[in-house]
């Protein structure tokens, strides 16, 4: 028999996980099939935990499985509630919302050959795009929630929504007050002069990230829950694209590229510059389109593997050095790889989904 203290501890863990899932997970961001898969996986995990507990003779293992079941149940319940109209009322932040839009304009110093842009958000989308003007513009769409209109407006007024602007850099961070019952969120749009090269770092816990046509030396985009969309992005040195739950898509040309998602499709069009691409998904297909090459000047070295699905390489003059009978693993290169003026190396892996490189 569990003591009252243990039962109360389990209850607190359940409530804590439930509140965290409400605050940091957006159920609406999941596709219907993803929601169903998540619930099914949670149900299977609960059944496995129940079966292990029945056959266990260890008190410690019993308690661990019990807490694990509580955490899984609380997460699934939180995801359902956050996607319903009741989510605003259950959330600690409250159901009443206040909005404010701010705009900041300026110009980089003439010495700023490589301005850096850093955006760090908690809940919100971030997009960076270029335009024909010599100046930049930052637009912040902020919102706050509280249990009354005055509380929400007060939280918005107190929030530090002013970006840190220097001659060669822009930094914007949405602060989060862990002990506050109000929550401030922001979507950020940045417009930059198109004739510069930039260093870009965009991060959010819950939201989508996007870049339009832009030239950069380094690009780092990371979100836990949201998609990553690229227009036509060139990163001379490196580009890192990471999401836990979301799709990655767009055009990318870089010297060292990494694209990874735990749940979602990766669909990229690669540029005609030498580079190495590491592409991985846990649950999702990978679709890579290589540039047209009528002069046969681009060579490819490819290693692709999936555990559930198939691998298809649709490149002319591709010679496979290793290939499994079920076509779940293919390694090889084009016949011109050694002598090609432009060399592209691709390593693609997914656990559940097909891989196509064409």
Q: Which residue has the tokens 């816990």?
A: 205
- pTM equals 0.78
Predicted local confidence at residue 179, as pLDDT: 42
**Contact (Cβ atoms closer than 8 angstroms) between residue 211 and residue 192:** no
DSSP-based three-state secondary structure for 41: helix
Predicted local confidence at residue 203, as pLDDT: 96
Predicted local confidence at residue 286, as pLDDT: 98
Positive or negative torsion for Cα 323, 329, 331, 335: positive
Tokens of 236: 């001379």
Q: Residue 142 to residues 87, 94, 153, 209, 281: CA-CA distances in angstroms?
A: 20, 16, 11, 16, 33
Predicted local confidence at residue 1, as pLDDT: 47
**Contact (Cβ atoms closer than 8 angstroms) between residue 217 and residue 198:** yes
Predicted local confidence at residue 129, as pLDDT: 96
Predicted local confidence at residue 159, as pLDDT: 83
Ranges of the chain with pLDDT below 70: 1-10, 14, 18-38, 53, 56, 59-60, 62-63, 66, 78-94, 175-182, 324-326
Predicted local confidence at residue 181, as pLDDT: 46
Q: Residue 59 to residues 2, 65, 95, 123, 303: CA-CA distances in angstroms?
A: 10, 10, 42, 40, 47
């Amino acid at each position: 028999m569990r003591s009252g203290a243990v039962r109360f501890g389990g209850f607190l863990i359940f409530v804590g996980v439930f509140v965290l899932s409400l605050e940091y997970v957006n159920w609406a961001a999941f596709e219907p099939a993803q929601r169903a898969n998540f619930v099914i996986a949670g149900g299977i995990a609960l059944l496995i935990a129940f079966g292990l507990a029945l056959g266990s003779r260890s008190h410690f293992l019993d308690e661990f499985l019990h807490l694990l079941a509580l955490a899984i149940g609380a997460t699934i319940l939180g995801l359902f509630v956050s996607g319903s109209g009741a989510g605003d009322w259950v959330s600690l932040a409250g159901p009443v919302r206040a909005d404010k839009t701010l705009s900041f304009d300026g110009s980089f110093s003439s010495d700023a050959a490589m301005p850096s842009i850093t955006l760090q958000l908690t809940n919100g989308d971030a997009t960076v795009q270029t335009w024909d003007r010599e100046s930049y513009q930052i637009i912040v769409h902020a919102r706050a929630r509280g249990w009354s209109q005055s509380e929400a407006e007060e939280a918005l007024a107190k929030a530090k929504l002013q970006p840190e602007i220097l001659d060669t850099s822009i930094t914007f961070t949405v602060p989060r007050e862990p002990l506050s019952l109000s929550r401030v969120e922001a979507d950020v749009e940045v417009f930059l002069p198109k004739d510069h090269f930039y260093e870009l770092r965009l991060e959010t816990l819950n939201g989508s990230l996007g870049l339009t046509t832009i030239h950069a030396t380094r690009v780092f985009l990371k979100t836990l829950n949201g998609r990553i969309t690229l227009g036509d992005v060139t990163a001379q040195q490196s580009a890192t694209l990471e999401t836990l739950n979301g799709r990655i898509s767009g055009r990318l040309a870089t010297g060292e590229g990494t694209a990874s998602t735990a749940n979602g499709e990766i669909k990229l069009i690669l540029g005609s510059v030498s580079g190495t691409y590491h592409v991985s998904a846990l649950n999702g297909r990978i679709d890579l389109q290589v540039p047209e090459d009528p002069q046969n000047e681009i060579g490819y070295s490819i290693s692709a593997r999936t555990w559930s699905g198939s691998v298809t390489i649709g490149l002319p003059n591709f010679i496979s050095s290793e290939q499994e009978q079920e076509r779940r693993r293919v390694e090889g290169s084009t016949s011109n790889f050694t002598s090609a003026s432009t060399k592209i190396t691709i390593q693609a892996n997914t656990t559940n989904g097909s891989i196509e490189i064409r």
